[in-house]
Structures are given as structure tokens and as C-alpha cells.
Structure 1
Amino acid sequence: MSVPAGIAKEILAAGGRVTFARFMQLALTHPVDGYYSRREIRIGARGDFSTAPGLSPEFRHSMARLLGDLAEAAIRETETGRVALVELGAGEGDLAGALLERWDVERPMFRDRLEYKIVETGAHLRDRQEQALSGAEERGWRIGWTADVDQALATMEGGVVFGNEFLDALPVHVVDVGGEEPLEAWVELDGEKAREVWAALSPEAGEELEAAFGTTQPAELRALSGDGIIELRPAARSLLDRVAADDADVALLIVDYGDWHIAPGARRATMPGAGTREPYSRSLRGYFKHQRVDDLYSHVGRQDLTADVDFRALDAHGRRAGLETVFFITLADVLRADHGAQRLAVLHEQAAQATEYALEADQRATVLEQLLDYEGLGGTFKVMLQVKRHGATP
């Protein structure tokens, strides 16, 4: 498939070649031709991917409880008693709607004390979010939108920043450490198509290697990678720096797939609260109509692009910025702590009864089983909480 005109123009304007990270950013967020800018993008059964909030009411229930507790703690800590909850990329508004609906009943005081801010770059997704949340606004909830993280955090006196399957879509630099010198994946145009080439590191990749690993030497980096590839996300470090930049107390909760990878000087990576995983490797892939696509250039601007999150790097970058990692656990841990196993038993009972609700209960039980399974989605998805308290310095 040819590269859309708007994306091709950006590549040509950069001299005909961009890092894969820049290509990924354009393919996902270009205002006209990017994946998240498409009018026809759908999240769920009719789209290219499904998210945990869209699949499981039980997930939404657990997030409402966890985020509600964090927001309540933030309210107690602020002088004004008013805080913000910033959601990074809200999909079609499923999770936001579920949170506010539950808080209507369980935490009605939030309506006067909490502003719900959504960071969304896709105009059409934002339209759907506004439509999905119109009822919540009518019930008195204060909801705002911005395409820029800085704007969302600029007037924040304190509160919670939350991202569910957000970091995995931030652009990654792909570095090959198998040779005498590290090489980076770049993308150039070959006629109307994209072509991947390998060349010297970009300044951004070199800086991130130093920040995350303390070296750019392939001999040292090879010991950390199972296949000679390391993926880097400077954009995640920038996000953490911005979240921690102000004096206000802030909690950052991330739900995503990935691992606490092996650290320099370690033979294996022991992840606090979430087991042990293998070294780094290439995880980049695309999704098109719920099918995994290994050719990252086959449907430019029309397929989702994603890569696993490096939670060890998040912890290291966060600590430098003044954020303390409170916990790093699996999604299965979160759901089980919120009586997920008991809810599953109830769903199985309801599915066994001859009622009109039986089919829905069976479907919910099937998804919840996967989210409770440490060897399935429940173990694949991780949950990390980082906090910065007033007066803390990096």
C-alpha cells in the first residue's frame, strides 16, 4: 500500500528519511492521514483492536474503585479540595463513562471537587467521546478535552493522571545492537511505498540509551537483548518529566502490556510484585481488523501500531523526575483484590440459568476469566502506580 500523501509530505520535508519513531508518530497521529484521525476508526468488535474497558465491565468496576481512591486521597491533600483526573487517550469514552456513572452513586461529592480532563489527538474519537459523555455533563460533571498533555496539566493543582493502553502507542526508536556499532531503523520513501533502512543512531535514540542504560556500547547492550534489538521510548520519559514538573501532588497510574525488563548488570529481571521476565526483544507489531500484522508498512495510516511498554525504564525515568513507584503488579492482581474471583463465580451461576441474561453473563465470564488468568491477559497487562508528593525533589 502506498504511503498517504500527508505522511509522505512530512517525510520528504525532513529530507526524505525519518526515524521509525517519527514514522510511527505520523502513521498514528497525522491530523489528516494518521490512524487515530480517521473518521472510520472503531475500537471494539468492528474495529482493529479491543481494549480491556470495552470488553469487561468488571475491569471498569475495579478501575473506578482504584482511581476513586487515588482521587479521594488527592482531594484530601490539596488546599482547595479540588483536583483533576487526566485520562490519556480515552478511546470511545467507555471507561470515562463507566467511572462517572459509578461515582454518581459511590462518590457523588466528586462532581463538585473533580474535573475530568481527556487528552485526545484524534478529532473523530473526541467527537465520539463527547457524545458518549454528554449525559455525564448533563448530570453536572465537569469534563474537558485537549490534544496536548501540557495543556491538561498546566492548571492542575493536584490529582491523578491515568493511561490505559496509551503508552504502547507512543513512538519507539528501534535499535540493533548486534554489530560493532548500534544501528537505528529509519524509514524512507521508495516510490510511493515506505522502506526500512538501518543507519547511525539519531540524537534522540543515543540520548535515551544513555538515560535508560547508561551506555551506547553494543557489547554492553547485547547482554540485555534476546534478539539483538532494543526498543526505546523517549516520549515516555518526556511524559514522566512533564507529569512531575509542577509542585502539585500527583499520582500516575499506567495500565498496559509489557514487562520489567532486564537491567544493566543483571542476568535476569526480577519485577517487584509481577514475577520474572526475559531480556529485551523486538515487540513492534500492527493490528488490522483484529489480525496481528508483522509488516508495519502494509497499511500505513490504516492499521494500529504498538509495542510493549518497558516498565523498568518508566521506573528509572520516574525516579529521576521525582516520582516514586508505589507498586507494579499484574492486572489479574488488581481484579482479584477487588473480588474478581467472586464476581466470576456469580457470572457462571447466572450463565447457567435459563434467562435472557445468560448469554451476556457467559460472555462477561469468558472475558473476566482471561483477565484473572496470570498466564493470559491478566498477566500480560501490568499496572504501575507512581506518585510525586509535595516537596519531593528528583
Structure 2
Amino acid sequence: MLSVIRERIKNAPGGSVSYATFMEMALYHPKHGYYQKNKEKIGRNGDFYTSGTTSAVYGAVWADVFYSMFRELEIPFVICEIGAGDGSFAKSVLDEWQAKGYPALDYVVIESSPYHAERVGRKLVGHSWSCYSSLEEFQSVCPSFHGIVFGNELLDALPVHVVKQTSSGLKEVRVALNENGDLINVAVHADGQLRKWIEDYQRELEPGQTMEIPLAMTSWLGMLYEWIRRGFVVCADYGYTEEEWRRPEIREGSLRGYYRHQLIPNPLSHPGEMDLTSHVHWDCVRKVGGDYGCSTSCFQSQQEFLLENGILDHLVKNAGRDPFSPEHKKNRAIRSLIMDNSISRYFQILIQKKDGCS
């Protein structure tokens, strides 16, 4: 992967590429990109955990929420999950859906990684589902959508540009090579597109502040919201509001890597071998949705969301004394999702609703 990136930088105007270009190569290169490789990425033997792999209860709670959402708008029972990972979430939703005897459900998976698509297929044996390699491929057979779109830790993995407010003005931080061929940061004057994004969604940066600018996410969301005619967009992810971006502790930005469950502060380390992620700009997501007729019906921490939607009802009473029994494991998993130091404390749930009838 490193040789591919070096070649791209050498041939780039000015000898540097944006962080968005670097991330696109490091994560999504068809042969060497992190997400495209045939390797374990999620869970104990991977680089990170997700809520959906922590416990099947997470998907079970969502199954009931999804059913209520379908009933609210009286829309077709269709769920489109974008970026399904190893299929754990899809399986737990479909298992609970079947157990509750809800109406027949069309479950569509969008997964660009052949490795992950194969893993999803193994998880969903016995269930009815379909898979597409990209949202564009699905849109070619479904030009307008009625249903629910769900993405768990989807937006945080989209490529971002990086800018810094300096004493000499707004600079874009880009990726270049030093004399030894190592990847390094360089700064150039930020272009008008980056400045306009800040104008539209962030107002201004504090002196010395570094921030990720999600041009790719903003554009992609516009295409997504335009495609949806009636239904919901659900995002489970970690991010900040405009005010939270001003906190001193994130003055240096949020872009980092995860490698073997270790946080790697330098995103240029291990290109193609580790996950890269940055926090979501929630106000931008909400504003883009609003521009396309999507109102926000829920925005809260995942911890609060799970508690309000009945996760404690899944606790097993009288689980017996064996601490290794399935019942005890289930109860521990539930607690691990809602305790104050749990993953859910750092995640937010955003649900946007489009109830137009075009």
C-alpha cells in the first residue's frame, strides 16, 4: 500500500495529496485498501469492536424500533443497511424480527468489501436478504426509496480533508514525502471549497485549531437524502456538535487510527493496515438532511436511546449461578452497552424522517 501512496504523491501537482485522497487509498483501494482486505477487522482478532458485535441484544432492540418506525409512516418493510461489517447486526435484527412474527421484511445490505459480503452471507443463512456492492448499484434497480436506511459507524470512515487555522490564515494539511520517502504533513493555503464548507456548517475555527472537513460525507448525504422519497435515515456513530468542536481537548482534531485495538494518534502510520476514523459533524448531517426535507426526530446518546427503548427488558431474571451460562453472558453484554464507561456513552443516535409523498 505504501508504494502505491508514494507513487500517487510523486505524480501529484505540488508533490502532495489531500488527506481525503490518502484515506481513499488507505481504506478503499480495491487491492490494498484496509476495508477490502481478506482479514479480520472487527472483534477480538481484529482492530476494533462495534455495538452490533457486542451483543445480539443491540440488534434486537433496533428490530422493535424499526417496526415502530414502519408503522409510524406506513411505509414498506424495507431496511437498507449500508456497511454491514461481518453481518452481526443484520442477523440479530432478522432473528428478533422473525421471533416476534413481524411482517415479511426486505433486508438489503450495501457492502463494498467482498470479504465482508461473504461473512454477511454466512451469518444470514436461513434469512431472506439481498446484497449490493455499492449504493449506486442498488439505486440502479431502485431509483427511489421508501423504507429505512441504517448506518452503524458509517460516516466516521468517509474520507476527510484536514485544515488548520494559523496566524497566516486557514491552511489545508496535506500528505507529502520527505527525502527518505516517509509520509509527512505539509500545509498549503486552503481552497475556496474548504472555506465555504466552514462558512456553511461551522462558522469559523479558533486560532490554532485543527479540524476535519467532510466534503465527501456532505456530498454523499445529499445524494442519499435526494434518493429517499419517504422513510427514515438512521445513523449510529460518534461525533460532535458545532459547539463541542470548540472544546480545548479536541483542538488538534479527531482523525486517528485503530490498529489491533490500540488508538494510533498518527493517521499516517500503517497505511492500509489499520482503520482510519474521524468524528462526525452532527450539525452538518442534520442541516443537509433538512435541506432535502428530512426532519430530526431523534438525537441523543446511544446509552439514553437503548434505555428508552427497552434494553433492560431483555435482561434474564433468575439466570442461575453459573457465571458462564448464556443467560449470564447476555446480562453482562447488556450492562456493557449501558454502563457509564460503555461504548454507548460515546456514541450518538441520529434519526431523520422524510414523510413526503412524492
- Is TM > 0.5 for Structure 1 vs Structure 2? yes
Counterpart residue number, 1:168? 156
Q: Which moved more, 1:12-21 or 1:48-57?
A: 12-21
Structure 1 residue 384, shift from structure 2 partner: 0.5
- Counterpart of 2:100 (choices 102, 106, 110) is 106
The 3-state SS of whatever aligns with 1:158 is strand
Provide the C-alpha distance between the structure 2 equivalents of 1:238 and 1:249, rounded to a whole number of angstroms.
20
The within-5 A match list for 1:1-394 is 3-15=1-13, 16-74=15-73, 76-77=74-75, 82=76, 84-111=78-105, 114=106, 116-136=107-127, 141-147=128-134, 149-154=135-140, 155=142, 156-190=144-178, 191-214=180-203, 220-222=204-206, 228-246=209-227, 248-262=229-243, 278=247, 281=251, 282-344=253-315, 346=316, 350=319, 353-354=321-322, 357=325, 360-374=326-340, 376-390=342-356
Structure 1 residue 237, shift from structure 2 partner: 1.5
TM-aligned CA distance change 1:291 to 1:236, over 3 Å: same
Provide the C-alpha distance between the structure 2 equivalents of 1:237 and 1:391, rounded to a whole number of angstroms.
24
Provide the C-alpha distance between the structure 1 equivalents of 2:30 and 2:79, rounded to a whole number of angstroms.
26
Provide the C-alpha distance between the structure 2 equivalents of 1:13 and 1:110, rounded to a whole number of angstroms.
53
Provide the C-alpha distance between the structure 2 equivalents of 1:91 and 1:302, rounded to a whole number of angstroms.
17
Structure 1 residue 13, shift from structure 2 partner: 4.4
Q: What are the Cα deviations for residues 255-290 of structure 1, in whole angstroms up to 9, with x where unaligned?
A: 01122231xxxxx79xxxxxxx94763111111111
TM-aligned CA distance change 1:67 to 1:14, over 3 Å: farther
- Give the unaligned 5+ runs of structure 2: none
- Which amino acid in structure 1 is aligned with residue 199 of structure 2? E
Provide the C-alpha distance between the structure 2 equivalents of 1:202 and 1:19, rounded to a whole number of angstroms.
11
Structure 1 residue 160, shift from structure 2 partner: 0.9
Provide the C-alpha distance between the structure 2 equivalents of 1:87 and 1:201, rounded to a whole number of angstroms.
35
Structure 1 residue 328, shift from structure 2 partner: 0.2
- Which amino acid in structure 1 is aligned with residue 19 of structure 2? F
CA contact (8 A) 2:78 2:108 kept: yes
Structure 1 residue 375, shift from structure 2 partner: 5.4
Provide the C-alpha distance between the structure 2 equivalents of 1:172 and 1:235, rounded to a whole number of angstroms.
7
TM-aligned CA distance change 1:198 to 1:57, over 3 Å: same
Provide the C-alpha distance between the structure 2 equivalents of 1:343 and 1:259, rounded to a whole number of angstroms.
30
TM-aligned CA distance change 1:5 to 1:329, over 3 Å: same
- Give the unaligned 5+ runs of structure 1: 215-219, 263-267, 270-276
- State the TM-score, normalized to the length of structure 1: 0.81
CA contact (8 A) 2:70 2:77 kept: yes
TM-aligned CA distance change 1:198 to 1:364, over 3 Å: farther
Q: What are the Cα deviations for residues 74-102 of structure 1, in whole angstroms up to 9, with x where unaligned?
A: 5x24xxxx453211100001111111122
TM-aligned CA distance change 1:37 to 1:374, over 3 Å: same
Identity %: 26
Structure 1 residue 342, shift from structure 2 partner: 4.6
The 3-state SS of whatever aligns with 2:345 is helix
Provide the C-alpha distance between the structure 2 equivalents of 1:13 and 1:85, rounded to a whole number of angstroms.
43
CA contact (8 A) 1:83 1:157 kept: no
What is the CA RMSD across the aligned residues, in angstroms?
2.6
TM-aligned CA distance change 1:288 to 1:356, over 3 Å: closer
TM-aligned CA distance change 1:343 to 1:246, over 3 Å: closer
- Which amino acid in structure 2 is aligned with residue 307 of structure 1? S
- Which amino acid in structure 1 is aligned with residue 188 of structure 2? A
- Which amino acid in structure 2 is aligned with residue 297 of structure 1? L
Provide the C-alpha distance between the structure 2 equivalents of 1:203 and 1:32, rounded to a whole number of angstroms.
33
Provide the C-alpha distance between the structure 1 equivalents of 2:342 and 2:152, rounded to a whole number of angstroms.
18
TM-aligned CA distance change 1:197 to 1:117, over 3 Å: same
CA contact (8 A) 1:328 1:384 kept: yes
Structure 1 residue 319, shift from structure 2 partner: 1.4
CA contact (8 A) 1:64 1:102 kept: yes
Structure 1 residue 374, shift from structure 2 partner: 4.5
CA contact (8 A) 2:322 2:328 kept: no
Q: What are the Cα deviations for residues 166-215 of structure 1, in whole angstroms up to 9, with x where unaligned?
A: 1111112211113231011101233543221111214542332232135x
Structure 1 residue 353, shift from structure 2 partner: 0.9
Q: Which moved more, 1:45-54 or 1:32-41?
A: 32-41
Provide the C-alpha distance between the structure 1 equivalents of 2:294 and 2:256, rounded to a whole number of angstroms.
30
